Amino acid sequence: MSVFRSRPALRWLVPSAAAVVVIGGGAAAGTIVASADPSLPERSAAQLLVDLQNAKVDGLSGTIVQSADLGLPKIQGITDGASADAGLLSLVAGSNTARVWYAGEDKARLALVGTSGETDVIRNGSDVWLWQSKGNTATHLKVPAEAGKKPQALPTGVPTTPQDAADAALAAIDDSTKVTTTGAAKVADRDAYELVLSPKATQSLIGQVRLAIDAEKHIPLRVDVYAKNATSPAVRVAFTQVSFETPDAQQFAFNPPPGAKVTESNVGQLEKDAEKAAKEHEKALPPAARAGKPGAAGGDMKVVGEGWASILTAKLPATDASSSEAQGVLGMLPEASGTWGKGRLFSGSLFSVLLTDDGRVFAGAVAPESLYEAAGKK
* Buried-state track 112-142, b at ≥16 Cβ within 10 A, e below 16: bbbeeebbbbbbbeeebbbbbbeebebbbbe
Per the CB < 8 A criterion, the answer to whether 124 and 254 are in contact is: yes
Per-residue pLDDT of the chain (378 residues; tens, 9 = 90+): 334 443 332 222 222 222 222 222 332 233 233 334 678 999 999 899 889 888 999 999 999 998 888 877 665 555 554 444 444 445 555 688 899 999 998 999 999 877 777 899 999 999 999 999 989 999 999 887 655 544 444 444 444 567 776 677 677 677 889 999 988 999 999 999 999 999 999 999 999 999 999 999 999 999 999 999 999 999 999 999 999 999 999 999 998 999 999 998 876 665 666 666 556 545 554 444 444 444 444 457 899 988 899 999 998 776 544 555 556 666 788 899 999 999 999 999 999 999 999 989 999 999 999 999 999 986
Q: How many CA atoms lie within 13 A of 253 on its CB side?
A: 9
Residues 322, 343: Cα–Cα separation, whole Å:
13
Per the CB < 8 A criterion, the answer to whether 177 and 197 are in contact is: yes
Domain boundaries, the chain: 11-273, 287-375
Helix (H) and strand (E) counts for the chain? 9, 18
Return the axis-axis angle of helices 162-171 and 45-54, rounded to nearest 10°. 120
* 107 Cβ contact partners less than 8 Å away, ≥ 6 residues apart: 123, 124, 125, 249, 252
| Other CB atoms within 10 A of residue 155 CB | 15
For residue 325, what is the enclosing H or E element? Answer: helix 324-330
Per the CB < 8 A criterion, the answer to whether 133 and 257 are in contact is: no
Q: How many CA atoms lie within 13 A of 173 on its CB side?
A: 16
Question: DSSP string covering 209-225, please?
Answer: EEEEEETTT--EEEEEE
What homologous superfamily is domain 11-273 in, according to CATH?
Answer: Lipoprotein localisation LolA/LolB/LppX (2.50.20.10)
Kindly list the strands in the beta sheet with 107-114, ordered across the sheet, starting from the edge strand earlier in the chain: 177-187, 190-199, 206-214, 220-227, 235-243, 60-69, 94-102, 107-114, 117-124, 127-132, 137-142, 261-266
**Residue 168, φ and ψ in degrees, nearest 5:** -65, -40
Q: What is this structure's pTM?
A: 0.72
CA 52 to chain centre: 20
| Other CB atoms within 10 A of residue 342 CB | 11
Q: Looking at the chain, how many residues does it have?
A: 378
